[in-house]
Amino acid sequence: MDMMWISILLAFAMLALLSLGVWVSFTLIAIGGLGLILSENYQVDLLFATSSWGASTAWSLTALPLFIWMGEVLFRTRLSEDLFKGLSPWLGGVPGKLLHVNILSCGIFAAVSGSSAATAATIGRMTLPELRKQGYSDRMAIGTLAGSGTLGLLIPPSIILIVYGVAAEVSIARLFIAGALPGLLLVCLFMGFTMIWGYLHKDELPNTTGHEISWSARIKGLRKLLPVVGLIGFVLGSIYGGITTPTEAAAIGVTGALILAACTGSLSRHSFMDSLLGAVKSSCMIGFILVGAHFLTLAMGFLGIPKALALWISGMSLSPMELILYLTVLFVVLGCFLDGISVVVLTVAVILPMVQAANIDLLWFGIFIVLVVEMSQITPPVGFNLFVIQSLTGKNILYVAKAALPFFLLIGVAILLISVFPEIVTYLPTTMSQK
């Protein structure tokens, strides 16, 4: 059968199964199996077992359940409440108010965690219930979280930059440094958008502060932030102080959260078990979807669909800007159906030579890739941030995707900005080589 027809068939089958209410992970496995059979590969059983074993024992993923657990523990302490109480005197006067807590906490937590699912899960567990309680618009609370959760990939450490760095033979240390400014840029874009939105939709925000807030109240508020800041500082310090690697930092984070919970008296046998079972529920869900995504990726590798699409683009002899445009579209389309990291793995061998031929800086291209992968994290039907937020809120994937749409577009703006001003990416790494 023609590859185009196979692709269309697989996409339709996936949409059909999903809309029938088949669980996401089961759907991905079924489509992967169908893909293998269509590629005339009949060892579906062996391939499933090998791919699942490989996917579920990956060292880089061990941090995920720990960060999720950390979020569950913190959710059961007074810490999340304190986070809001401490920040509200500062953010109360800013349009969009406490919605910025989502963006800022994700930005900070991203410096600890290398994955966007872990960032969205940990921060969302703390912030979403509190924002809802205070009467913030659900849609905006979810949108800001879905959008800024993706910062986990851009701000170092980052799983995807490691994958890219190894494949493209670009220094991972440089990639990490290159991600810092674009990360800040995204934070600014998200906050700017939230301010404009807040200014236009005053009716959808709780009406708390009509009067000026005194500086003493602000300073008092800061005190409430001490435990949270201490915890994050402790984890960051252990990474940059040379005590742990980023993966191991998750263990430090959980331990710190448990100690904090114990100190504030909110740790009991009951809450410990509750938090652990809560973590089991989320991490099993994500873990099994990852198993399915990995299996589907394997089928795509055998079928060669992403590779063929990349080859088709490379045959068009495009200018560098056109190439970037086409690649963005390619990644966004593939990213709807496949997990973003898989898209990179499947296409990098074809794409890198054409990127080099077009004289595009490989370091810059790495950050570009992260941005498009971030977009794929929030596009339906397969988007890991959407899955995480659906399981946190019970809201439908499409609702979450709609809420995340403005942030999807803002990442597009960021891509445009780094294309026009590549220095945003390359400036910091060049200062590094002059040491």
Which is closer to another protein, CB of 18 or CB of 101?
18
Distance of CA 146 to the CA centre of its chain: 8
| DSSP-derived 3-state class of residue 155 | coil
Which is closer to another protein, CB of 108 or CB of 346?
346
Query: Contact region for Na ion (CB under 5 A) — 62-70, 222-230, 382-390, 394-402?
Result: 382-390
- Which one of 335, 368, 393, 414 is in contact with Na ion (CB under 5 A)? 335
CB of 29 to another protein, least distance (A): 7
Query: Contact region for Na ion (CB under 5 A) — 13-21, 350-358, 370-378, 395-403?
Result: 370-378
Which is closer to Na ion, CB of 73 or CB of 400?
400
Environment class of 208 (CB within 10 Å of its CB; exposed 0-12, middle 13-18, buried 19+): exposed
- Is 334 a binding residue for Na ion by CB under 5 A? The answer is no
Tokens of 277: 């079972």
Which is closer to another protein, CB of 120 or CB of 345?
345
Rg (CA), the chain: 22
- Is 152 a binding residue for Na ion by CB under 5 A? The answer is yes
Kindly state the helix (H) or strand (E) to which residue 299 belongs, with its residue range.
Answer: helix 269-303
CB of 88 to another protein, least distance (A): 23
Helix 116-133, helix 138-149: angle, nearest 10: 160
- Which one of 68, 70, 110, 367 is in contact with Na ion (CB under 5 A)? 110
Question: What separation in angstroms does the CA of 8 have from each of 44, 96, 337, 377?
Answer: 21, 42, 12, 22
Kindly state the helix (H) or strand (E) to which residue 107 belongs, with its residue range.
Answer: helix 99-109
Q: Give me the sign of the Cα torsion angle 321, 324, 327, 329.
A: negative
Query: Contact region for Na ion (CB under 5 A) — 59-67, 230-238, 378-386, 389-397?
Result: 378-386
Query: Contact region for Na ion (CB under 5 A) — 59-67, 153-161, 305-313, 418-426?
Result: 153-161
Which is closer to Na ion, CB of 67 or CB of 197?
67
Which is closer to Na ion, CB of 137 or CB of 376?
376
Tokens of 256: 């710190």
Q: Are 28 and 83 in contact (CB under 8 A)?
A: no
Which residue ranges make up the site for Na ion (CB under 5 A)?
Answer: 110, 114, 152, 155, 158, 335-336, 376, 379, 382-383
